[in-house]
Structure 1
Amino acid sequence: MKNLKTIALALVTLVTVSVSAQTTKKVNVQKSKVEWLGKKVTGKHNGTIDLKEGALVFKKKKLVGGTFVVDMTSINTTDLTGDYKGKLDGHLKSDDFFGVEKFPTATLVFKTLTDKGNNTSTVTADLTIKGKTNPITFDITINGNSATTKLIVDRAKYDIKYGSGSFFDNLGDKTIYDEFELDVTLNF
């Protein structure tokens, strides 16, 4: 009888530990994709940027956390070629925009998640760009071993002033909009 109680207690402990355990799934950065889109009065540009590392945290099958590091030195314009591409890539990496020499990475750390159903959660996270951290809210959808999301980032919150109507008057058709989009597909 004593052995039966010991076995039952061990089973209850094992089930409790497995139910409460969290699983961290490392993101496959080679198979994941981050595409950016920036707009200005006279048009737009788009491109890619690489994840350096990332992970999503699950409790059972529910998403409960995540952390990501973006390689800012990998900014790549995909809608231009030749000299124009080189000039824009260089300008985006310069201190006018992301200052990648001094700030080679950006980070995103999930803080709170709210389940919306249908494998979608609303995430509030801390986004750090150029050493400045601000909260950002977005929805993320999990589908098997992948996740998709779209982030709208206000560059003015990160002191990225170049061509911004929030910092300069009378820019006219030289104005670059403060918000840029990130379309993200994560594979893990």
Structure 2
Amino acid sequence: MKKNILSLALALVFGATTMANPIDGEKKEVNTETSKVTWKAYKVTGSHTGTITLKSGALEFDGDKLTGGEFTVDMTTINTTDLEGDYKGKLDGHLHSDDFFSTAANPTSTLVFTKVEASGKNSYEVTGDLTIKGITEPVTFDISIYGSKATASLKVDRTKYDVKYGSTLFGAAADKAIYDEFDLVVDLEF
């Protein structure tokens, strides 16, 4: 009888605690106007930088712990920021072409978090599914969260997404080579 009363008391205490602190999580929408996605690509003779606009995005939290996220990028906004005039126009046009991101046929890219593990007080290692040109591949990167801001940087192997122009793996001359990996740096506000 004492065991039953103790069990009932524990069930009531823990049951009430669970009801007072549900673990449903909270989805926080990203402010696409103030958030920023920049890219940097490298070639034998230098590099280029640019931006891409977030179309939508959200981070998911359980209390103050990151548990998930999903983002859509408007690929039609990809552009260079380190060039001006005709050079900028030519490179921007080339990035939109089938040699690179085929933005007319593939106007968006997505990233969906599949696994989030805490790696420090405000930092996490994230694995996600990145889709570019309709091709989905896993990526792993670190993200840091401070209040209502988050920062992440990741390397992307463009050849996995059928972006092979200028790759030495696919016949480009060494002196004209564009490296296969490019960097994305993401600054989010939510």
Q: Name the counterpart of 2:145.
A: 142
4+ aligned runs moved over 3 Å, structure 1: 11-15
1:64-105 deviations in whole A, cap 9, x for unaligned? Answer: 000000000001100000010000000001000000000000
**How far 1:27 moved relative to its partner?**
0.1
Q: CA RMSD in A?
A: 1.9
1:95 to 75, 94, 98: 98
**CA distance, structure 2, for counterparts of residue 24 and residue 65 of structure 1:** 9
**How far 1:173 moved relative to its partner?**
1.1
Taking structure 2 as the reference length, the TM-score comes to 0.90
Taking structure 1 as the reference length, the TM-score comes to 0.91
Tell me if structure 2 keeps the 8 A contact 1:19–1:60.
no
1:182 to 175, 181, 184: 184
Q: Secondary structure at the match of 2:152?
A: strand
Q: Are residue 68 (structure 1) and residue 79 (structure 2) matched?
A: no
Identity value in percent: 57
Range moving further from structure 2, 16-25 or 44-53:
16-25
Tell me if structure 2 keeps the 8 A contact 1:32–1:187.
yes
Judged with a 3 Å threshold, the aligned counterparts in structure 2 of structure 1 residues 17 and 153 are, in CA distance, closer, same or farther, namely: farther
**CA distance, structure 2, for counterparts of residue 166 and residue 65 of structure 1:** 34
Structure 1 letter corresponding to 2:50: G
Structure 2 letter corresponding to 1:85: K
**How far 1:22 moved relative to its partner?**
0.8
Q: Secondary structure at the match of 1:90?
A: helix
Q: Are residue 43 (structure 1) and residue 46 (structure 2) matched?
A: yes
**CA distance, structure 2, for counterparts of residue 108 and residue 75 of structure 1:** 16
**How far 1:21 moved relative to its partner?**
1.7
Q: Secondary structure at the match of 2:167?
A: coil
**CA distance, structure 2, for counterparts of residue 168 and residue 62 of structure 1:** 46
Q: Secondary structure at the match of 1:84?
A: helix
Question: Structure 2: 5+ residue runs without aligned partners?
Answer: 1-11
**CA distance, structure 2, for counterparts of residue 27 and residue 113 of structure 1:** 18
Matches within 5 A, 1:2-81: 12=15, 15-16=18-19, 18-81=21-84
Q: Secondary structure at the match of 2:91?
A: helix
Q: Secondary structure at the match of 1:166?
A: helix
